[in-house]
Amino acid sequence: MYVVTGSAHSAGVARQLPSLPVENILVEPSARDSCPAIALAAAVIAQRDPDAIMASFAADHLIRDTAVFDRVVGKAVEGAEQGYLMTIGITPTRPETGYGYLRCSEPVENDRLQRVLEFKEKPSLDVATRYVDSGKYLWNASMFVWRVSRFLDELTARRPDVAGPVLEIAASWDTEDRDEVLQRLWPTIPKVAVEYAVMEPAAEDGLVATVPGDFGWSDIGDFETLAEVLGTEVTDSVISIAVAGGTEAGDDRQIVSVDSSDVVVLPSRGRAVALVGVKDLIVVDTEDAVLVCKRDRVQDIKKVISGLRENNAERFI
């Protein structure tokens, strides 16, 4: 197992995974999106085992049925052995505008390898509804399985501006020159997601396949999803998120709801949140910041983060 993480989290990763060899913690000097991170892992692994098959997973995803997940990953490995760039598709449970979609070559069938004809990122609600109703689309969960040599070849052909510096960094990874090469080259790598850099164009060329799976997946990527996983109903479908440092599950003393509904609340410890005549909101109260947004605008929180960074207010993020 390898972990790619930022410098702010590397010590925490080592502490939480004491059995993981320190040389398998790959530290990015700065975030460059998913493609450079995944490419770095692929290139370092290729230095140590050129014929390896790797699987890439985001660390913050929730997998409820690990037995089914293991079976799906095993099927994906078989596809990688055949030369495909594999992605694990998630059976959609609803039209969701925050996810990417995979169009399959035939109606979806769980645990069965199918070619991917198209990647489509974050469609409108009408389009997402049409995708789900067709039965030919899956959610893209950004879980990938491939032979490292095949992925690096495709990356080199499609995005040499990413592959070139990454391969040079990987060549120095197990040497005393690593820090110098990493600090010099990493900032030159463009920020790009692996879907845009490799998977979308490769799918157009017939090189991508998927194994659909239904294993209780969630990426916990927004407060809506966090409420589904950790939420406790207060009253009138007002949901309190119980997390460390916040309210205890079921502690409705901190949330007062009057004629309010369909609200997700993350309250701060020791402070009350009162809701009067509101609906369809996300309310997040922390020690130094308060967020209030419409539930259908939750994806726009990224704009808030960008605005804080532009105003040199990163301490509130």
- 91 shares its domain with 163: yes
- Measured between its terminal Cα atoms, the distance across the chain in Å is 30
Query: 118 and 240 in one domain?
Result: no
Based on the domain organization, do 81 and 65 belong to the same domain? yes
What are the distances in angstroms from CA 245 to CA 78, 287, 305? Answer: 44, 10, 21
Of 189, 218, 247, at which residue does a domain stop?
A: 218
Show Cβ contacts of residue 46 under 8 Å, excluding neighbours closer than 6 positions: 52, 148, 149, 152, 170
Same domain, residue pair 118 and 254 = no
Which of 153-157's residues contact partners 24+ apart within 8 Å by CB, and which partners? 154/85, 154/198, 154/202, 154/207, 155/35, 155/39, 155/42, 155/197, 155/198
What is the number of domains present in the chain? 2
Q: Is the entire prediction scored with pTM above 0.75? A: yes
Contact 243, 266 (CB under 8 A): yes
| 23 found inside a domain | no
Strands 238-241 and 261-266, by their bridges, are: parallel
* The two structure tokens encoding residue 129: 């509804």
Mean pLDDT of successive 10-residue segments in the chain (317 residues)? 94 95 94 96 96 94 94 96 96 85 86 90 89 91 96 98 98 95 97 94 94 88 79 77 52 75 85 90 90 88 90 87
Out of 200, 218, 236, a domain closes at: 218
Q: For residues 113 and 181, state if they share a domain.
A: yes
Question: Phi first, then psi: what are they for 290, rounded to 5°?
Answer: -130, 135
Q: Are residues 64 and 203 in the same domain?
A: yes
Residue type, 38: I
